[in-house]
């Protein structure tokens, strides 16, 4: 699946079957279902990829302190671009 194909699914009532859980979380996030996305991030705390997702979600929420905590846990630099760029970067990574 390409990022354009993934983005085209955002209007569907459910995420496509078989997505990596992080992609599923990003699908929910794009549909303003932050809580569902956050639940997925929390489901595997301590796993760097999920901690990285967690960082993005708290950055989007506007909680910069908490986002910084999760970036550090993920051993990832704080993303310096826009939220939209970070979302696309994460989606591209997991496709």
Length of the chain: 95
Cα 95-41-61 angle, rounded to 5 deg: 100
pLDDT recorded at residue 23: 98
- Residue-wise pLDDT tens digits, 1-48: 999 999 999 999 999 999 999 999 999 999 999 999 999 999 999 999
Show Cβ contacts of residue 9 under 8 Å, excluding neighbours closer than 6 positions. 15, 16, 27
CA distance 1 to 3: 7
Please indicate, yes or no, whether the overall pTM of this predicted structure exceeds 0.75: yes
């Amino acid at each position: 699946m390409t990022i354009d194909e993934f983005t085209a699914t955002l209007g569907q009532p459910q995420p496509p079957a078989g997505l990596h859980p992080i992609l599923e979380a990003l699908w929910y996030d794009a549909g303003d279902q932050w809580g569902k996305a956050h639940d997925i991030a929390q489901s595997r705390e301590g796993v760097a990829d999920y901690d990285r997702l967690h960082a993005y979600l708290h950055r989007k929420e506007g909680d910069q302190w908490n986002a910084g905590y999760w970036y550090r846990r993920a051993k990832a630099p704080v993303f310096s671009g826009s939220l939209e760029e970070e979302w696309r970067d994460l989606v591209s990574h997991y496709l």
